[in-house]
Amino acid sequence: MASGKLQSKEIRLVSRPQGEPALENFALATVELPDLEPGQVLVRNAFFSIDPYMRGRMNEGQSYVPPFALGKVLDGAAVGQVVQSRDAAFPVSAWVQSLCGWRDYFVAPGQQLRLIDATQAPPSAYLGVLGSTGLTAWVGLREIARIRENETIFISGGAGAVGSVACQLARQSGCRVISSAGSSSKVAFLKNQLQVDHAFNYREADPVEELRKAASEGLHVYFDNTAGPQLEAALASMRNRGRLVMCGAISGYNKPVQGPRNLALTIVRRLRIEGFIVVDHLHRMAEFLAEAIPAVRAGKLLHQETAVQGIENAPQAFISMLRSGDAHIGKLVIRL
Amino acid sequence: MASGKLQSKEIRLVSRPQGEPALENFALATVELPDLEPGQVLVRNAFFSIDPYMRGRMNEGQSYVPPFALGKVLDGAAVGQVVQSRDAAFPVSAWVQSLCGWRDYFVAPGQQLRLIDATQAPPSAYLGVLGSTGLTAWVGLREIARIRENETIFISGGAGAVGSVACQLARQSGCRVISSAGSSSKVAFLKNQLQVDHAFNYREADPVEELRKAASEGLHVYFDNTAGPQLEAALASMRNRGRLVMCGAISGYNKPVQGPRNLALTIVRRLRIEGFIVVDHLHRMAEFLAEAIPAVRAGKLLHQETAVQGIENAPQAFISMLRSGDAHIGKLVIRL
C-alpha cells in the first residue's frame, strides 16, 4: 500500500476441473488496481453472478465464448457502484452493470459498462430477472418456442435462475406450466411461490410418469435447462409439432450424459428442437425491460435470488449450484 | 375359380417382428376379388414400393400412420394399370398410383387413385424420384433445411431412395455434398453416378474423421436418414446456426439406438433440429413434379431403382433393405 494504490481481491481459475469442480481449482488473489486513464471508471462490485454456463468456460476449447484462462481472474455479470470516474457518463455513485465479476473492484472503460436504474428494482435484480437471466427466459419462450395461450409447457430446472423466470412468464402468457426441481423445498417453491400447475422432484419421481399424469394430452413446448432423463421424458410426451427449446443442459456440465434414445420421435411427431444463446439477443434487452421492470415493480414478476456473502465463498457456491442441491433457489449471486 | 372371380396374391403380416424382421413374420396368401361396384376400379399392380418407414408400422402402437394389422395384407405405394373400370375418370389401361401395394390386383374406388403420366417417365419412377420419395427429399431440403447455394451439406444414407434424390437436388442447388453409404459399391455410386463431392463408407471409416476432412469449416446442413453414430458425428461438425433435417433413422428401426451424447451442442451452436413427414406435404406434389419431371426427362435427375421380381420375394427384399447391405441402390421396388 506504499504506493497508495487500491487493492482488490479476485477469484482465479488455477486448474481445469475434471468432472465436478473442486475448491483447489480456484484461488483467491489480491491485486493492485491501476490509476484511472481518461475514459476509465473504477467500480466497486456489490454483487456478481454465478451461472451454470461458466462450467463450460472452465474447459479447454472454443465454445461461443472463449474459455477462462488459467491463472487469470474469472469473469461474468456483476453490478456495482462507481467509486472514481474519468468518464462523465458514469458519475460517482452511479450503479452499473458489467462483465467484470468474481472481484471486488475493477477499472474499465466506461463504454464497457451499462447504467442501471437502482430506483426501479434492487441492483442485484439486474443480474437475475432484469438481466441476461430474465432475457434468456423471455427469448426462449417468445422467440424460440413462440408460446401461445392455453399451451402446456414443461420447464425443467424450474427453481433455477432462468427456470424460475420462465415458469412465471409462461404462466402469465396463459400457459399450463409443469416444472421440476431437485429437492422438496424447491418443489414447494415452484408450487407456492411460482404457482405452477404441477411440480415434481425429478430425483424421486419418474419424469415420464409425472408428465403422463400432468399432461395427458401431451406437451406443446419443452423448455430444457437440464438435458438427461428429463429431456428424454419430454420427447416421449411431446404433441405433434411440439417445440423443444434447448436453453441449458446442467446434468451434463460435469459429466457426459447419455443422449435421448427416442430422438427419432422428432420425425414422426414433426418436432422442432432449437438451441439459443442469450448473447445473440442482447439487442432485445430494452424491449424486455420495458415489460419486466413494471412487472417486477407491481409484484407480478418475482425476483427470487439466493445471495451468498463474501467473495471467498464464490467457488463453493458455484460447486453447490452444479449439484442442484437444496441450498440455492432462483438466481445465485455473491454479495460483496 | 368356379365363380369366375379373379384371384390376387398378397403379402400379409402374420406376426410382429422383434428386432430384425424374419421371413416367418410374413405370409403369401391368395384372395378372391369382388365384382366392381359403381365408381370402383380393378387395378393390376406393376410395381410396389418397399420403404424403411414400413418397419415402424409393423410394431404395435399408434404412430403417424396406424400400425399394420396382423393377418391382413400390408399396404404402401404402388403403380399399376386399370384392368376394369366403373369410374369414367380411370379408363382401362390407364396408369394409376395407389396406396394398395404388396398385392397383384386390387379393387378400389377411383377417388383413391391418382393418374400418372407414363409417357413422361417409366411408371416405377412415380414410386421413386417422381413419387413421395422424391418429394421427401425436395421438402426436406427446401422447406425444412432451406438450403442455399454454396452451403456444405452432409446426407447420410445417400445411396438410399430418399438420399439419392437429396444428393442430386442439393448438388443442383449449388451445395457441396458429402454423403455416406454402407458398402463400397454404394460409395462408388455416390461418387460416379451422383457425383457428390465426398463420399465414404460409414462401416469402415470414422464419420467424425471423414467430416473433419471433407468439411473443415463445418456443415451448414445435415440431412439425416440414419440416426446413430452418423447423427452424433454430424452434430460435432455443425457450424453455428446449422440445421439438421430429421428425415429417417434407419439405424434404429430394428433395434434401440443410443442418442447423440453431444446434443447440448444444439445450445452453444444455436442449431435447429427439425423432423418432418412427407404426408404433411403432399399438397406440394404438383409443384414438385413440375420441376422434377422435366429434370428426369432431361437426364439431369437420375431415377435410380433396384427392382426385385415377384411378390413372393418382397419380404426378403424388405429384410435386406433394413440391413443396408449391398443388394439395393436407390429406390427398392417389387416388379410384378
Q: Where in chain B is the domain with CATH 3.90.180.10?
A: 7-128+304-335
> pLDDT digits over A4-32, tens only?
789 999 999 999 999 999 999 999 999 99
Q: Which residues pair with A41 in a beta bridge?
A: A85, A108
**Are the C-beta atoms of residues A259 and B260 closer than 8 Å to each other?**
yes
Phi/psi at B141 (nearest 5 deg)?
Answer: -75, -45
Output DSSP code: residue A69. Answer: P
In this prediction, residue A2 carries a pLDDT of 47
ipTM of the complex: 0.93
**Are the C-beta atoms of residues A127 and A333 closer than 8 Å to each other?**
yes
Phi/psi at B137 (nearest 5 deg)?
Answer: -65, -45
CB pairs under 8 A between A and B: 106
Measured between alpha carbons, how far is B28 from B26 in angstroms, rounded to an integer? Answer: 7
**Are the C-beta atoms of residues B216 and B240 closer than 8 Å to each other?**
no
- CB contacts of A146 in chain B (<8 Å) are none
Measured between alpha carbons, how far is A110 from A292 in angstroms, rounded to an integer? Answer: 26
% of residues, chain A, pLDDT over 90? 91
Closest partner CB to A263 (pick from B259, B276, B277): B259
DSSP E strand boundaries for A36-115 = 40-49, 72-73, 78-85, 95-98, 105-109, 114-115
Nearest chain B residue (CA) to A281:
B270
User: pTM here?
Assistant: 0.94
HSE toward the beta carbon, residue B318, CA cutoff 13 A: 31
pLDDT level of residue B253 (50, 70, 90 thresholds) = confident
Closest partner CB to B272 (pick from A64, A249, A272): A272
**Are the C-beta atoms of residues A237 and A209 closer than 8 Å to each other?**
no
Cβ separation B272–A269 shorter than 8 A:
no
Which amino acid appears at position B325 of this protein?
G
- CB-based contacts of A254, cutoff 8 Å, min separation 6: A17, A19, A20, A21, A55, A322
Cβ separation B271–A276 shorter than 8 A:
no
Measured between alpha carbons, how far is A217 from B104 in angstroms, rounded to an integer? Answer: 41
Closest partner CB to A264 (pick from B227, B261, B269): B227
With 0-12 CB in 10 A as exposed, 13-18 as middle and 19+ as buried, what is B229?
A: middle
Report the length, in residues, of chain A. Answer: 336
Comparing CA positions, the residue from A196, A125, A147 lying closest to residue A167 is A196
Per CATH, the homologous superfamily of domain B132-279 is NAD(P)-binding Rossmann-like Domain (3.40.50.720)
Which residue do the cell numbers 462483465 mark?
A99
- CB contacts of A247 in chain B (<8 Å) are 267
In this prediction, residue A217 carries a pLDDT of 96
Mean pLDDT of A129-149: 97
DSSP result, A76-95: B-EEEEEEEESSTTS-TT-E
Chain A interface mutation, best of B223, B230, B268, B279, highest count of A Cβ atoms under 10 Å? B268
- CB contacts of B257 in chain A (<8 Å) are 261, 264
Lowest mean pLDDT among A163-167, A235-239, B47-51, B63-67: B63-67
Phi/psi at A137 (nearest 5 deg)?
Answer: -65, -45
As a dihedral over the C-alpha atoms of residue B228, residue B231, residue B236, residue B241, rounded to 10 degrees, the angle is -150
Cβ separation A273–B273 shorter than 8 A:
yes
Closest partner CB to B274 (pick from A240, A268, A272): A272
Measured between alpha carbons, how far is B187 from A228 in angstroms, rounded to an integer? Answer: 36
- CB contacts of A277 in chain B (<8 Å) are 267-268, 270
According to CATH, the topology of domain A7-128+303-335 is Quinone Oxidoreductase; Chain A, domain 1 (3.90.180)
Q: Where in chain B is the domain with CATH 3.40.50.720?
A: 132-279
Measured between alpha carbons, how far is B319 from B22 in angstroms, rounded to an integer? Answer: 7
Q: Which residues pair with A80 in a beta bridge?
A: A45, A96
> pLDDT digits over B186-228, tens only?
999 999 999 999 999 999 999 999 999 999 999 999 999 999 9
Average per-residue pLDDT for chain B: 95
Q: Where in chain A is the domain with CATH 3.90.180.10?
A: 7-128+303-335
Is residue A40 scored above 80 in pLDDT? yes
Cβ separation A273–B257 shorter than 8 A:
no
Which residue do the cell numbers 439405424 mark?
B251
Which amino acid appears at position B255 of this protein?
K
Mean pLDDT of A234-256: 93
In this prediction, residue A62 carries a pLDDT of 67
Q: How far is B260 from chain A (nearest CA, A)?
A: 5
Chain A interface mutation, best of B225, B257, B263, B276, highest count of A Cβ atoms under 10 Å? B263
Measured between alpha carbons, how far is A215 from A201 in angstroms, rounded to an integer? Answer: 16
Which residue do the cell numbers 384392368 mark?
B83
Cα B136 from chain centroid?
8
In this prediction, residue A182 carries a pLDDT of 94
**Are the C-beta atoms of residues A75 and A102 closer than 8 Å to each other?**
yes
- CB contacts of A241 in chain B (<8 Å) are none
Cβ separation A271–B274 shorter than 8 A:
yes
Measured between alpha carbons, how far is A219 from A213 in angstroms, rounded to an integer? Answer: 12
Measured between alpha carbons, how far is A276 from B272 in angstroms, rounded to an integer? Answer: 9
Chain A residues touching chain B at CB-CB below 8 Å: 56, 63-64, 227, 231-232, 240, 246-249, 252, 256-277, 280
Which amino acid appears at position A49 of this protein?
S
Which amino acid appears at position A309 of this protein?
Q
Phi/psi at A75 (nearest 5 deg)?
Answer: -140, 170
pLDDT level of residue A1 (50, 70, 90 thresholds) = very low
Q: How far is B281 from chain A (nearest CA, A)?
A: 12
Comparing CA positions, the residue from A206, A205, A195 lying closest to residue A168 is A195
DSSP helix/strand/coil, B15: coil
Interior angle at CA B283, CA A272 and CA B331, nearest 5? 80
Number of other residues whose CB lies within 10 A of the CB of residue A209? 11
Measured between alpha carbons, how far is B100 from A330 in angstroms, rounded to an integer? Answer: 58
Calculate Rg over the CA atoms of chain B. 20
DSSP helix/strand/coil, B281: helix
Which residue do the cell numbers 409393423 mark?
B58
DSSP result, B151-182: -EEEETTTTBHHHHHHHHHHHHTT-EEEEEES
Number of other residues whose CB lies within 10 A of the CB of residue B67? 15
- CB contacts of B240 in chain A (<8 Å) are 64
**Are the C-beta atoms of residues B86 and B39 closer than 8 Å to each other?**
yes
Query: Helix axis angle, A161-172 relative to A132-139, nearest 10°?
Result: 50
Closest partner CB to B280 (pick from A246, A252, A270): A270
Number of other residues whose CB lies within 10 A of the CB of residue B25? 19
Chain A interface mutation, best of B244, B261, B267, B269, highest count of A Cβ atoms under 10 Å? B267
Cβ separation B272–A271 shorter than 8 A:
no
β-strands B7-13, A72-73 pairing: unpaired
Phi/psi at B150 (nearest 5 deg)?
Answer: 70, 10
Cα B244 from chain centroid?
19
Cβ separation A273–B261 shorter than 8 A:
no
With 0-12 CB in 10 A as exposed, 13-18 as middle and 19+ as buried, what is B174?
A: exposed
Closest partner CB to B276 (pick from A64, A252, A270): A270
Is residue A39 scored above 70 in pLDDT? yes
Calculate Rg over the CA atoms of chain A. 20
> pLDDT digits over A295-328, tens only?
999 999 999 999 999 999 999 999 999 987 777 8
Cα B334 from chain centroid?
13
Chain B interface mutation, best of A54, A162, A239, A266, highest count of B Cβ atoms under 10 Å? A266
In this prediction, residue A61 carries a pLDDT of 79
Comparing CA positions, the residue from A144, A97, A132, A161 lying closest to residue A288 is A132
**Are the C-beta atoms of residues A288 and A309 closer than 8 Å to each other?**
no
Is residue B1 scored above 50 in pLDDT? no
Mean pLDDT of A128-137: 97
Nearest chain B residue (CA) to A261:
B259
- CB contacts of A276 in chain B (<8 Å) are 267, 270
Is residue A258 scored above 60 in pLDDT? yes
Lowest mean pLDDT among A274-283, B58-67, B95-104: B58-67
The kind and range of the H/E element at A237 are: helix A229-237
- CB-based contacts of A204, cutoff 8 Å, min separation 6: none
In this prediction, residue B62 carries a pLDDT of 67
CATH of B7-128+304-335, one of 3.90.180.10, 3.40.1080.10, 3.90.1150.10, 3.40.50.410: 3.90.180.10
Comparing CA positions, the residue from A225, A249, A257 lying closest to residue A153 is A225
Mean pLDDT of B161-173: 97
In this prediction, residue B5 carries a pLDDT of 84
